[in-house]
């Protein structure tokens, strides 16, 4: 029975099988790079002795184990204690170190919000918080699906918030956030990570949105691995003579409103925001707010996760079910044109 049929008939959700370790999202036809975050951090740390690594018992699952193996004397395993990790990271930053503190995105956002707020952000401590398994990139259910982390961290003063697309961008953002003096929260993809943006000569710049491809019919504004999906959808729709532009927005806060407004102001294009996050409080609402404040009107649509706790299951089934798969995006864009 198809997902669409199940939805219409309100039939119960079938039992779904969950693999032991969930990989990063790799759609068919894309190259991958293994552990880009861990390798980029090691490469940088060879030149930057002030960089230290931390993990709350999840080094292996956030690619921080690469750093731990290379620099065991600069790695701190904090155990299942995210709040302690956040507080210790703030203290290390005050002593002149640059801590990269890694855990799952949901644990960073939910379990130690107050500790990050008081021990890092309020102090303007130079800590880099690394959140693995962002959005719907695990089938383990609501305890591990970080569907609201961007909304939570967007509300925190002093905190820069980033959602990278692929391995190419992760490799570039690691030195960029190390050079930036201030607290940063960034999502990451782990394990075998897609390599997409190198084909477009893309360069990551903190705080900047970048046009990846032009198009006269639709302007897609996307972040995270949804930019990969947007580019795939654009290629598929091009066969139907539908011209899709893709604006990649890796930095959610501060938002590059100037670039977004400049692109939206180009007449004749439907605007669609794509994000691997709940529709509440993420990129879509940030873009809509910016357009409203600027008095800009356009035909606007938003593809994101629903305001609910999501099911557990295999990623392909879940991402189809919640409308963020490549095929679901193509179907939605066609229906709106």
Read off the pLDDT of residues 210-257 as tens digits, 9 standing for 90 and up.
999 999 999 999 999 999 999 999 999 999 999 999 999 999 999 999
Query: According to the model, what pLDDT value does residue 24 have?
Result: 63
Q: pLDDT tens for residues 20-50? A: 444 566 687 899 999 999 999 999 999 999 9
Q: Buried b vs exposed e over 47-76: b needs ≥16 C-beta within 10 Å?
A: eeeebbbbbbebbebbbbbbbbebbeebbb
Query: According to the model, what pLDDT value does residue 27 have?
Result: 80
Which run of H or of E encompasses 107?
helix 105-111
Query: According to the model, what pLDDT value does residue 2 have?
Result: 35
- Identify the CA nearest to 247 among candidates 283, 223, 267: 223
Q: pLDDT tens for residues 64-122? A: 999 999 999 999 999 999 999 999 999 999 999 999 999 999 999 999 999 999 999 99
Sheet harboring 218-222: ordered strands across? 210-213, 244-248, 218-222, 270-278, 300-305
Give the number of other CB atoms < 10 A from CB of residue 195.
21
Q: pLDDT tens for residues 68-83? A: 999 999 999 999 999 9
Spacing of C-alpha 92 from chain mean position: 26
Q: Average pLDDT over the chain, rounded to whole?
A: 93
Question: Is 178:67 a contact under the CB 8 Å cutoff?
Answer: no
Which run of H or of E encompasses 40?
helix 36-45
Picking from 21-25, 138-142, 186-190, which range would have the lowest pLDDT averaged per residue? 21-25
Q: Could you list the active site residues?
A: 82
Which residues, in sequence order, are CB contacts of 256 under 8 Å at separation 6+? 207, 208, 209, 249
With 90 as the cut, is the pLDDT of residue 8 above it? Answer: no
pTM (2 d.p.): 0.92
Give the number of other CB atoms < 10 A from CB of residue 277.
28
Cα 12 to Cα 5, 6, 242, distances in angstroms:
11, 8, 37
């Amino acid at each position: 029975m198809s997902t669409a049929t199940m939805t219409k008939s309100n039939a119960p959700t079938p039992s779904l099988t969950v693999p032991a370790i969930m990989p990063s999202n790799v759609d068919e036809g894309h190259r991958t790079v293994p552990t880009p975050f861990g390798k980029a951090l090691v490469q940088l740390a060879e030149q930057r002795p002030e960089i230290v690594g931390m993990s709350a018992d999840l080094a292996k699952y956030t690619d921080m184990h690469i750093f731990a193996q290379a620099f065991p004397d600069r790695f701190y395993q904090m155990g299942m204690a995210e709040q302690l990790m956040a507080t210790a990271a703030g203290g290390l930053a005050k002593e002149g170190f640059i801590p990269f503190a890694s855990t799952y995105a949901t644990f960073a956002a939910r379990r130690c919000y107050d500790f990050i707020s008081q021990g890092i952000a309020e102090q303007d401590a130079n800590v880099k918080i690394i959140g693995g398994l962002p959005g719907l990139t695990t089938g383990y259910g609501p305890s591990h699906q970080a569907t609201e982390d961007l909304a939570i961290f967007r509300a925190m003063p002093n905190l820069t918030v980033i959602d990278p697309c692929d391995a190419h961008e992760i490799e570039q953002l690691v030195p960029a956030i190390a050079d930036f003096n201030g607290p940063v929260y960034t999502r990451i993809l782990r394990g075998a990570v897609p390599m997409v943006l190198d084909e477009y000569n893309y360069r990551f710049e903190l705080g900047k949105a970048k046009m990846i491809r032009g198009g006269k019919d639709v302007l897609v504004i996307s972040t995270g691995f949804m930019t990969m999906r947007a580019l795939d959808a654009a290629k598929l729709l091009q066969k139907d003579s539908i011209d899709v532009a893709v604006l990649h927005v890796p930095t959610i806060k501060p938002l590059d409103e100037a670039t977004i407004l400049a692109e939206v102001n180009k007449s004749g294009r439907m605007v669609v925001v794509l994000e691997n996050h709940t529709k509440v409080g993420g990129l879509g609402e940030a873009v809509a707010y910016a357009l409203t404040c600027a008095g800009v009107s356009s035909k606007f649509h938003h593809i994101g996760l629903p305001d609910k706790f999501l099911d557990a299951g295999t990623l392909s089934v879940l991402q189809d079910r919640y409308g963020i798969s490549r095929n679901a995006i193509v179907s939605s864009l066609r229906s709106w044109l």
